[in-house]
Structure 1
Amino acid sequence: MDWVWRLLLFLWAASIVFPIVWIVLQSLRTNAEFFQNIWELPSQLQWGNYTKAWTSYNVGKSLLNTLYYVGVSLVLGTFLTALNAYALTRMQFRGRAFIWSLIMLSLFLPGINALIPQYILMKTLHLTNSLTGLIILDSFGENVFFLMLLGGFMASFPKDLEESGAIDGASLFQIFWKIIVPLSTPGIVTVAIFKFLGLYNNFLGPLIYLSDPAKHTIGVNMYHANMKMQFTSDWVTMFAGIIIVMIPSIIFYILFQKRIMAGATMGAMKG
């Protein structure tokens, strides 16, 4: 039966890789070739499509916006997730079980339900049409999955760690920063990787809160570029832009895929 599973995995992988390869090939053709036959190989590689996509779709500016949004949100959000996980798993205080119950309850509530209240709150605080406002929203909006993952790491550590740190005169934050965080590095790295992929591919938030085209992230920028296709039909340039947008996340995943698998597995074992 092994060959059956191998065949299924191969077909699954092919269904993922084939569209990417097809887009790459189409991005290297002319529009005339594309409309004549979408399955033919390019007669001559049109690398200029990538230059045109970079300039006409303002990819450089949107990538800088995305870098700022993703970078700050990633650092701040991961730190807050680790801090919250520590407080809810390692500290004893009245109401902790009730807070955990509310957090678990939120798993059954679709996130889209909070969209209107969040927008009203952001509008009231004058944080709409601002990348910084979007960073605040995403950083302080806790993800239950990440909280549970890090909580599983931290809950498995013996209490002697904090007790020995307290005996040595360490403060509560020093115990968290110098003892718990280093031990939780695999889980923190895993959370950071998933946060990066989620933030980089985030579309709905930037679309709703950013009205100024100069502040658009790469996802919203390519969405508006796609809307132009009904007037220009310059699909090969559009495909080139899609490939440019995909490169950072693909590189990031290739570099850290082992960390993702190791961290997720360890989290499952420790949880």
Structure 2
Amino acid sequence: MKQKNGFADYSWRLLMALWAIGILFPLLWIVFESLKTNREFFADIWSIPEKLKWVNYANAWTLLGVKQSMFNTLYYIGLSLLIGMFFTTVNAYALTRLDFRGRKLIWAMIMLSLFLPGINALVPQYVLMRSFSLTNSLTGLVILDSLGESALYLMLLGGFMASLPKEVEESAYVDGASLFKVFYKIIVPLSIPGIVTVAIFKFMGLYNNFLGPLIYLSDPRKYTIGLNIYYLNILMQYKTNWVTLFASVIITLIPLVFVYVLFQRQIMEGTTIGAVKG
């Protein structure tokens, strides 16, 4: 028998609908404003554009430096994601599938790092980066974010790897497989859902990273997309070309929306499988 929806169900659905509207309405408003002229924007911010000004997006891409900052962001995210995921996968494997002296102590120190505010590390990190002449460098940011392991990502991927059956490795060792071969031939393929999940979370974090580029980058030609939008917002107080700035904001949202739509299922499945089996 089909269960009838009660008052509580309809109330939750209404609440979720209002929440969705609260998120989507500002985005739609920015889209409409990005297609106006500056005259229309200052005349009435709630009016519909008389004619869609797609040229605002071309101007944002070229004149406001969105193109260069987007390429800088892709370089920064691409290398950081590649190197960082390698270290995260290796560390998760070592801490969950291997038995060695001091493993529990290392896990305890990693758990302890969750209680320490990350802002406390800004000063020693900056001093270290400056001593190695890595400030004002995208490569320096890549090194900083690649070698700085996140306890949350390590726990997520480690929990997924810990749920894999030990018998798979044991049979491989019996057949004469080495530790390295077991890792990249067995563990990595079986852990693809968890690796994809962590990679997507890392991508989101790197793409939205603002504090790191703000502290370490001073050359406008090296700005990432978030830092570029921040300085454009300050610049618009003097140039008042807000419609082009709105177009820049929409351009920056496209990669995030694309990743979310493309990998939404992998995120849900990877997180759920790791939680249920672990």
Report TM bin, short chain. Answer: over 0.9
Pair 1:234 & 2:230 matched:
no
Identify the residue that residue 205 of structure 2 maps to in structure 1. 198
Identify the residue that residue 98 of structure 1 maps to in structure 2. 105
Match of 2:73 among 66, 69, 88: 66
Letter aligned with residue 257 of structure 2 = I
Unaligned runs of 5+ in 2: 1-7
Q: CA deviation at 1:270?
A: 2.2
Distance 2:180 2:216 in 1: 34
Identify the residue that residue 4 of structure 1 maps to in structure 2. 11
Pair 1:222 & 2:229 matched:
yes
Q: CA deviation at 1:168?
A: 1.9
Q: CA deviation at 1:267?
A: 1.6
Distance 1:85 1:270 in 2: 16
Match of 1:260 among 263, 267, 277: 267
Pair 1:33 & 2:40 matched:
yes
Normalised to the residue count of structure 2, the TM-score between the two structures is 0.95
Distance 2:180 2:158 in 1: 17
Distance 1:145 1:267 in 2: 13
Alignment of 1:1-271 (within 5 A): 1-271=8-278
Q: CA deviation at 1:162?
A: 2.0
- The alignment partner of 2:29 has SS state of helix
Q: CA deviation at 1:147?
A: 0.6
CA contact (8 A) 1:57 1:222 kept: no
Distance 2:237 2:84 in 1: 38
Letter aligned with residue 95 of structure 1 = G
CA contact (8 A) 2:110 2:151 kept: yes
- The alignment partner of 1:224 has SS state of helix
State, as a whole percentage, how many aligned pairs show the same letter.
65
Deviations 1:13-57 (A, max 9, x none): 111111110000000111111111111111111111111111211
- The alignment partner of 2:214 has SS state of helix
Q: Tell me the matched-pair count.
A: 271
Distance 2:104 2:11 in 1: 46
Unaligned runs of 5+ in 1: none
Distance 2:179 2:135 in 1: 36
Q: CA deviation at 1:129?
A: 1.2
Distance 2:77 2:263 in 1: 17
Q: CA deviation at 1:186?
A: 0.6
Letter aligned with residue 5 of structure 1 = W
Distance 2:55 2:28 in 1: 18
Deviations 1:194-243 (A, max 9, x none): 11111111111111111111111111111111110111111111001111
Distance 2:163 2:259 in 1: 29
Normalised to the residue count of structure 1, the TM-score between the two structures is 0.97
CA contact (8 A) 2:163 2:274 kept: no
Distance 2:159 2:138 in 1: 32
